[in-house]
Amino acid sequence: MVFRLIRPAPLTEQKRSRDGCIYLYRAMKFIGWLPPKAGVLRYVYLTWTLMTFVWFTTYLPLGFLGSYMTQIKSFSPGEFLTSLQVCINAYGSSVKVAITYSMLWRLIKAKDLLDQLDLRCTTMEEREKIHLVVARSNHAFLIFTFVYCGYAGSTYLSSVLSGRPPWQLYNPFIDWHDGTLNLWMASTLEYIVMSGAVLQDQLSDTYPLIYTLILRAHLDMLRERIRRLRTDETMSEAESYEELVKCVMDHKLILRYCSIIKPVISGTIFTQFLLIGLVLGLTLINVFFFSDIWTGIASFMFVITILLQTFPFCYTCNLIMEDCESLTHSLFQSNWVDASRRYKTTLLYFLQNVQQPIVFIAGGIFQISMASNISVAKFAFSVITITRQMNIADKFKTD
């Protein structure tokens, strides 16, 4: 079956939370981020890793700069904006890739904590939730893959069929003006470089969503365990107390999981927050004032990729805060009134801790939420407003 992991596996199969990262880590392995631990193959693989960083992370942003320095006069306004919007995003992407790769050990360590959380998932209902979140996480990565590849492919085809390279990167070896063959060769090389950079960018954009989707599943299962506290009449008071202690330990493990992934998420989302308004603004200006039907389609795909970089994750952060509030309500409304003094003391301690919501901060400045995302995205309309008031689009067309 094609894309088998996007469908919930039957309960006869044993699935773990880390299986929700399978597609993500396969892509990391392909792009050169997960070398073998030892042997000759490790050094061969590290050579591939170096090549991907040279071409996809370093050459791409510098290629844009080189083209502006050598052939800026040959750009039409639409071509320049198409190039500029991707250029700015490419520099941001390189920063995000560097942050993600340098802190990849945190994401790997977080998977080990998920294995510990899975040890508590013993009921059929909990196993079913694990299977569902595994399918949902892999499905999300696949959707991102189709959208990101769709952008690269649509820009490549629309530009070549219009008689120009898609991004006009600096290429001192092939002059695309010298015939159709050179045009296709230069464009194909650009497409290969951009596809690698797009995959790297996708990895930096999808891991926050995948890891927080799995986090929400474990918060939901913890909430259900709290609701079941002291509802089984066959359990003694001591056994009920042990179940409460296990819930406290589960919550501590969840907080450890969050503390491990927060520094990675903080850097990548902060970088994206700095760029999203400007990039969206330039893209919309291009669509409204300079695009034809083909470049309009490519720009539309680019807008979708920019929105996907932050909006799904920010929405998930809002849901996590709601999950934490629901966790507090479930604990307070559990059956504790006639419990022992020791049970009530532990529950009070637990209640004080769960009242602190799990919040992700971008760069130590912005709380990551839909409100902050919309605030930074609004800058796009400011860019459009400035362009219209100063008649910049008309001046570009006249020049």
12 located within any domain: no
pLDDT of residue 394: 61
206-233 pLDDT, tens digit each: 999 999 999 999 999 999 999 999 998 8
Rounded Cα distance between 174 and 151, Å, is 24
Q: pLDDT at position 28, please?
A: 97
Residue 125, classified by CB atoms within 10 Å of its CB into exposed (0-12), middle (13-18) or buried (19+), is: exposed
Q: Max alpha carbon distance in the chain (Å)?
A: 86
Per-residue confidence at 81, pLDDT binned at 50, 70, 90?
confident
What is the chain's mean pLDDT, rounded?
91
CA angle, residues 350, 351, 352, in degrees to nearest 5: 90
Quick check: is 226 in a domain?
A: yes
Does 288 reside within a domain? yes
Per-residue confidence (pLDDT) for residue 254, from 0 to 100? 97
**5 within domain boundaries:** no
68 within domain boundaries: yes
Give yes or no for residue 321 having a pLDDT over 70. yes
Asked, for residue 182, whether it belongs to a domain, the answer is: yes
Ramachandran assignment for 39, one of left (phi > 0), alpha (psi -120 to 50 degrees), beta (any other):
left
Q: What is the DSSP letter of 369?
A: S
Average pLDDT over residues 119-131: 94
Decide if 7 is inside a domain.
no
User: Rounded CA gap, 100 and 93, in Å?
Assistant: 10
Confidence class for position 59, pLDDT limits 50, 70, 90: very high
Q: Residue 4 falls within a domain, yes or no? A: no
**Number of folded domains in the chain?**
1
Q: Which domain holds residue 28?
A: 17-398
d(CA 102, CA 263): 11
